[in-house]
Amino acid sequence: MKILRIMLIAVLLFSRGVSQILVVEGNAGQKEYDLGSLEQIRFSEYDSLSNAALSFHTVTGVKQICLADIDAIELGDDNMQIHHGGLVTTFRQADIDHIDISPVTLPDRRDGARSGSEFMEDILGTTFQQREPYILTEFLNGNIPDILRNFITLTSTFKDANGIDHTVEYDVMTDYLSIGTNDDYCRIPMGPSTAQRIADAYGCILTTRKLCDDIWQHASVHLDPIPYYPVADNNSQVYKFIEHNTDINAAREVAGGEIHELIAGIKKDVVICNGIKTKPGYVAIYGWHYLTGIRIQPLYMGHIDWYVDYSHGIRLLNSIVRVDGEAMSAYGILQDPILYKLLSDETGIMQLPRYRY
């Protein structure tokens, strides 16, 4: 599929003297807009497959507006009004730190949403069946730290089924799905059906075994796994989720890692694979790499899909992948008899590249 429109790559808002300049840089080159005199900006050129957002980083957090929904931006003396999807969103220019393009539009975090520690306290002692609806609701309401909104684009060279090299660019969350704020968040183990619902709502896809390994290769922060010895069913309890989250953050601090960096080696990934179709009702897990790159967990489908423990993590990828510069659906790639090898190291297309719910 051809790229029908030009994807806006970067937008920065800064001051030049007394005039504010909006700089848009993309495939068409760099364009500058004087915010003091321009009445409207129309984002009419973007990749038709894209779920990209104009991402406003403000004093109260990040707000994302899907580029495809934006009709115009009106600029006043002090405010910016974004007309989108029949709505008008207003920002005080003084409150904007910067503006950029996010490859994925995620729901805004609501005012008064619970912090990570507050949410985990609320679900202490719950069973899997009791807490899954609450976990889903938090993510659908956008209760995630801002660091997870800043997807990182990774570029790798992979061979297709005919052995031909292709440049593959894909956008990935820097960390595992978490609830809360940058200052107070907790990574959330969950069932694959809940994870799939969130991925679908976010315009994302779960990772594969091949991409899990590739993400580890690209990561700027590598940590050794932190395993706990199993005692009865302790490892599937919420307090163990909290303990593991705390230990990971402590280890990252010792290693000198920052919260915005791409991190790997801290969880087993819940992945998609051919086994989802051949063994329904089970969860596929993989990874948990040592610093050497060797992983603890080979691809494993021995757990029923309602089994969750502290080691499970959900890493989301933008469902739009660029192959040799051409935007394509990751689901479509996985079901293509030639291209599926770009995203999967299994034999044969992935007939069911998502968990049922």
Of the listed ranges 12-21, 194-203, 229-238, the least confidently predicted one is: 12-21
278-294 tens-digit pLDDT: 999 999 999 999 999 99
pLDDT at residue 129 is higher than 70? yes
What is the pLDDT confidence band of residue 209, given thresholds at 50, 70 and 90? very high
CA dist., res. 352 & res. 277, Å (int): 6
Locate tokens 């899990």: which residue? 212
pLDDT at residue 42 is higher than 50? no
What is the pLDDT confidence band of residue 92, given thresholds at 50, 70 and 90? confident
DSSP3 helix / strand / coil % (the chain, rounded to 5) = 25, 35, 40
Token pair, residue 26, equals 């993309």
231-255 residues labelled b (16+ CB within 10 A) or e (exposed): eeeebbbbebbbbbbeebbebbeee
Contact between 207 and 273 (Cβ < 8 Å): no
The pLDDT score that the predictor gives to residue 240 is: 98
pLDDT at residue 173 is higher than 70? yes
The pLDDT score that the predictor gives to residue 271 is: 98
The pLDDT score that the predictor gives to residue 55 is: 86
Q: Packing angle between helix 238-255 and helix 116-123, nearest 10 degrees? A: 150
Of the listed ranges 38-52, 185-199, 236-250, the least confidently predicted one is: 38-52
Write the CB contacts of 91 (distance below 8 Å, at least 6 apart in sequence): 56, 58, 63, 79, 80, 82
For the chain, give every domain's residue range. Answer: 8-102, 116-342
The pLDDT score that the predictor gives to residue 12 is: 42
Q: What are the beta bridge partners of residue 204?
A: 318
